Amino acid sequence: MVNLKKFRSKKKKGFTLIEMVMVVVILGILSSMAMMKYGEVQKNAKIKSDCATASTLATAITIAKNDGKISSSESSGE
């Protein structure tokens, strides 16, 4: 029994260098995947924002035409 206790007490606790390197590699892979996904999300948000702006502008032009504030290019004869 004494021999077994001595063996356990000499065993070092902590992480090995290989374990630490593996954690860094995994974190690097996950962060690169997140950055790629973030770029896609940002691009899609910009497209949706631009579409909403274009729709608002088209609505404003239609309202201005109906109010007579601007003339339609079809009726001007140019």
pLDDT of residue 5: 61
pLDDT of residue 1: 54
The parts of the chain modelled with pLDDT lower than 50 are 76-78
d(CA 65, CA 59): 10
User: Do 65 and 72 contact (CB within 8 A), yes or no?
Assistant: yes
pTM tops 0.75: no
Q: Show the DSSP H helices in the chain as ranges.
A: 2-10, 17-67, 73-76
pLDDT of residue 8: 57
Q: How large a percentage of the chain has pLDDT more than 90?
A: 64
pLDDT of residue 2: 55
